[in-house]
Amino acid sequence: MPIVSRFLGITIVMFYADHQPPHFHARYGAAEVLVEIDSGLVQGAFPPRALRLVLEWRNLHLKELQEDWQRCQDQEPLIPIAPLE
CB 11 within 8 A of CB 31: no
How confident is the model over 14-53, as pLDDT tens digits?
Answer: 999 889 999 999 999 999 999 999 999 999 999 999 999 9
Q: Is 64 exposed, middle or buried (0-12, 13-18, 19+ CB in 10 A)?
A: middle
pTM recorded for the entire structure: 0.94
What phi and psi values does residue 47 have, to the nearest 5 degrees?
-60, 140
Instruction: Report the C-alpha dihedral over residues 57, 32, 29, 64, rounded to 10 degrees.
Output: -30
Q: What angle do CA 71, 80, 10 make, to 5 degrees?
A: 115
